Structure formats: structure tokens, C-alpha cells
Structure 1
Amino acid sequence: MTAEHSLRPLPEGTDTEIAVVGGGLSGTLAATLLGRSGYRVTLIDRHHVFPREFRVEKIAGDQIDKLRRIGLLDSLSTAAAAFDEIVNVRKGRVLDRTRARHYGIFYDDLVAAMRAELPKAVRFVAGRVSAVEAGPERQRVSIIGQPDVT
């Protein structure tokens, strides 16, 4: 994968170069970076909108630097709560303090913020994968109730 990769005609009957199955944070970031690099990507997840659950993420340190470097920190910071200090306490006693920028965010809000940044070269399909077939020249991903992705 290189930034110089350019969209080229695909073999007839093919509608994507790369299928990413699973549109949580990792799958969405992979699809975003591949799409930005010029690949035709299909991101497949069974949820059009990631469901609300009690799952919270803390983004800090080099994670912030990496998101800034790939141009996704602004979307994250808009959806997250920023804070600059963490105090670790045990049995009423302060163990330590960490002073640095952190972001706290519900996981579903994090996924939504990152999905909002998917480039046009990425198609999102909401559905459940039922089969994957690998062949020497062509792969096929079958999705319940959707046309196959090849």
C-alpha cells in the first residue's frame, strides 16, 4: 500500500479491491487509511450505527499523536470529553497523578466519529457476512440480504 496507489479499472464484475469485515474502531481506521491511499474499499459491519453499550475508551499519549498525524484528532476531540489530569486513588490515598491531555469517549461515539471520516473511496455496507470465498483471481464476500462483494 502506498500513497501513490491510484484508482485503476477493476476486472469486470469486481466492485472493490479490499473488503474489511468489522466496522469497529480498528476496521474503520483500516478502511479509512486504505481509502485515502486510493484503494476501493468496502467496509462491512452488521450495525449501520454501532450500538450503545457501556464501554468507554481513554485516548492519550502517543494515541493522540497518531490520530493527529493521520488527520483524525479533530473528529475525535469534537465527540470526546477532554481532560488534563488523572488521579489514581486507593483506599482514600492518592497514589499518583498524571498531567497530560486525555480524551474520554464512549466506544460507539468513537466509532461514529471515525466512520464520519471515511473517504469517498470507501463504501459502507451494513450487513452480516455469511461466507467468504477465496479464489486465485477473485474473492467473494456474501452478505445476508445484500449483493455479494467481489
Structure 2
Amino acid sequence: MIRLIACPVQVLLRLLSAAIVSFALLSFSIPASAEQAKIDTVELFEFESLQQQKQAIELAKTLRCPMCQNQNLIESNSPVAKDLRLRVFELIREGKSNQQVKDYMVDRYGEHVLYRPSFSFKNGLLWGVPILCLLLVILNLFITFKRKQKPS
């Protein structure tokens, strides 16, 4: 029977792959009991009426998760979105209006949390300056093209 002796490189590669697998398993571990309780609270939240439930869900669909990339609070499964969804549900159950809940979220997280932010001078600049630059570039190209076509 022939025994193969593993070279040091193979041993290092095996150790490295074992370490990577261990790290991956640790990072995707089962959530702690407190985190699981919070998830259950959000998923099993009870409203006083069906109208309140519809209002809260529609409102949560208009609010963006601050951690996710273009997902609303209903679509996102991030812990932050679950916390915000629970807070929206609690505020609606307390009798707050949609505008009061939006104001609360904007005060806490900024206008990024809204899918349709209010029009302001800052937002106007954000949209207007690139459009103005594009128009100036087109005008410059047009003038340059006209000058090159003129016979001297």
C-alpha cells in the first residue's frame, strides 16, 4: 500500500477552505431568540380593524428601507426594515395619520426614506443641474458643428 504525503501547499489549501466554510456557517447562524421574537412580532402584528391594516400596509409600501437598495418596507427582509415596519404598524394602531407617520420617518431617517420626496430647492438642483449641463453640451456641439461647416 502506497501512502501519499501531502505537500505543504495542499495542507494549507485544505486548512484555508475549512476556515472559509466555518466562517460561512458562523455568519449564517440561526438568529438569536430576541431577534426571532422581533420577527414574530412583525409577522403576527394584530390591528384593531381591517382598515387600519390596509392603511399600514399601503403606507409601508410608500416608505423605502434605509439599508436596502430600492425596496420598500414590505418587500425587504432586513432587520432594519422589520423594525421600521413594526414602528409604522404601531403608529397607525395609535391613530396617527399617514402624514404624521411620514413626518416621523423623515425626521428620523431623512427624505431618502420616502419614494416620492417633497419638492424643495435642493431637490430641484439635484434634478436641474444635470439637465442644464446636458443642454449646454448639446448647444456647444451644435455651435462647434456649425462653425466647422462654414466655408472660410
TM-score bucket of the superposed structures, by smaller chain: under 0.3
Q: Larger helix proportion, structure 1 or 2?
A: 2
Larger radius of gyration: 2
Scaled by the length of structure 1, the TM-score of the pair is 0.20
Q: Which has the higher contact order (CA 8 A, sep 6+)?
A: 1
